[in-house]
A = this chain, B = another copy of it.
């Protein structure tokens, strides 16, 4: 996984999750330092439809496996 690519693409996540991984809205989770395996599963579940959310179901749909791995690595790397 490529943390730098994850950071670059996380521009699209930051309105809700923050570039520092601290959520900007109460209904979104903080992601900084979150477990990487958990983040990968969350994004794959939103992409597949196994997990549903008005925002995430839309934005996860076009993500590749690499995108997902990179986002997870980036948010995990931010630490707690």
Seen from chain A, the residues whose Cβ lies within 8 Å of a Cβ on chain B are: 22-23, 26-30, 32-38, 41, 50-52, 80
* Contact indicator A33/B30 (Cβ below 8 Å): yes
* Contact indicator A29/B38 (Cβ below 8 Å): yes
- A29 CA to B50 CA, complexed, in Å: 18
The 9 A-B residue pairs whose C-beta atoms are closest, nearest first, are: A26-B37, A29-B38, A27-B37, A26-B35, A23-B35, A80-B80, A51-B51, A29-B34, A30-B34
Tell me which of A22, A28, A29 has the highest count of chain B C-beta atoms within 10 A of its own C-beta: A29
Can you list 15 residue pairs at the A/B interface with Cβ under 8 Å? A23-B38, A26-B35, A26-B36, A26-B38, A27-B35, A27-B38, A28-B35, A29-B38, A30-B33, A30-B34, A30-B80, A32-B80, A50-B52, A51-B52, A80-B80
